[in-house]
Structure 1
């Protein structure tokens, strides 16, 4: 809990508690055995005191009350030391993911209230799979006690069960037992569900790619006999994993069958069911490259048979207009101008938002009227997979090398040197990348001015002449023989003298 002024957090301020769950016996055991050694009994007491502000069979918000009730319930003095103690214990709960605190201000009444949002304790399996929590518990109770706690929450299988083999799943899914009526859609019900879902969602990502991968579509196409089927079924309860899959599909232009094919391969899931993101991205990139090769071969065959024009009439149009995206201006940093060769006319704010949000594959496609050349695709693919530059930084790099006046230097070594320079300077955000491009623009303008200058120190430096510390040249300037008109003819007398001299030199030798 970040409280800069102690007078902003007193026993006179009112508070409200929110929770959307009820503690079970297993949750209380996890709270006592796993969380209490880390945060202490006082913090767990604060958690339970906030929890019991509502009945066990109720969820939602409690009534507004003064924080004096918390001080009295925890036997704290209503002075600066007691306020600091309460804030410290709340911070402990926040650090282990049991509490969120929000401060709300009413300008009309000039009043500040605190909202305590309680979070359910993690299950035992999820707790031990969370690396930092497991390490903290091990440091608090010791290695041997940590092993005993982990084994006590999961009972082993009976001894006689090990001799049974060929374990298969015979669970009947929902769609084989129940059938939903195909009646008219109830707009009031859909509106109520949408409002409740929006109200319960606490944290939304700033940008989400268009949702093209739905969990229900994946289940319809995913093999039931696959060993990864249980992991895929649990993805419905993992919104972050579904958002990653949607972003991957948007980045590499994949559909539901391709995503199911990727998830059906070995090694794409951890033992706890979470996605191996780097491995999945690598295999999706291989599939993307194969699709590009097949598309190029198909276009060559169509062009060879004369059917390219007929096929081109039914192709899809260009990418969606970026003006449909969010046009919120980037604040705090200078905006990059829209390049002239950029195919779509877009405002500067929208173009910068595209650089910040779009995958690099989509941005690369917008710079070419047709397919992206394979050389450029391989260069930026290497930067993405091997260098692991963030997507916004790669987009700014594309803007720098393709959207600016660097057409004479579009080589693999030049692009690789710029990416290596970004890595060396620690550029990992969009803002740092924009400032880097601005600095490079100033440097290029300064070098161009020096190169255009007359005779003098500036010209000597711009042309590449080496200069010493004192400003003088290290090497003398070598005079160049100039061609000044036609050559003069040698008279016959002079030619005869030259031949005589040559003859005498030969006789002496």
Structure 2
């Protein structure tokens, strides 16, 4: 509890408690054995006192009463030292996540009311999966005691079942196999009644665990630098499930580790001036880190791939083995035409056999008179090593890009878009790649045909202004001046006469 002045926290101020759960036998054991060892018996007694303000068989709010009741129930004196002790014990409960205290201000009045929200203790699995709580318990009772306490919460499986490899079959009967509901009509009266008697304060929905990196607050606070200016804002994330959910979503979306998250939270624009998490800024910086890591991984994979290929070639040359991999024939129906660059150097059969069986590093070199540019080498190595595209498919892509496409359109973006489209369509064989190229060529031919037809049909549409006007066209058709046919060039005398007339018209 952060109390600026003890005059704001007296026995005369009123309070109420709220809880939306009921303690089970395991919860009471967790408080008695685990939490009490960390926070002490006095704080555990305060927890039970606040819990009992609401009847054990109910959930919701307690009566609004002065805090004198709490001080008397804990055996504390009605002075500043007693109130300070109550604040200290409540702070211990807040630190381990068993209590949340809120100060409520009454409008147009100096009076304040304190709300003590009692929080359900963590289950054994949740507690021992929280590093900061487990380390605190270890510091209080020791390592061996922590192991013994954890074992005390679980009943062991029978030895006969624990050591056997059993097949598991779910034979549970679902709801709708056993029960049939009357869905003929909607009972509006029942829905209205349930809405009227529903509590005004609903239980907070638990965050979804499907899209989360599973990073706990304790993992972040242990690695976050103490001298950082954002340390105070990071400490406020404790108990803020919404902010932790947003942070875990960003980490899950961009594959960030705990160290990466701490690095993001230590940036200048990670929090607002009020300490709120700036999700858009975090996503922007997380995306930048994701792209940088991916670029480094791609470069590393390409380097390792080249090293492995070099080692394989070196081992083959040392072993004296000249065995070549078996060539795969190409059916005549999948033949591709020889491009202009290779015309006269090989026939259609030889070309398709090369495209089907030759490595892409050698096949692409046939389209260049000299060395292949490094940009193209790196780009097609990316398709091979990072995208895991088959060699024959890459060769068909090279044939399509360098042999069939217009050289004016050729750039890295065009090649990437074609390769991405092939990957999305799941093209994994030579035959599928040939079919894709033929479909694309048909699309290109259809576009050219439409373009040519559009030029011939443009002239009749220019004379259709009256028809368009009758249909309510707002913008009139403006006649376009036709380009005059070029005749014989003007002589020097004619040009001088034109200049003289121009000066005369200008008054000079």
Fold equivalence (TM over 0.5)? no
Shorter-chain TM range is: 0.3 to 0.5
The higher radius of gyration belongs to 2
So what's the TM-score if we normalise by structure 2? 0.42
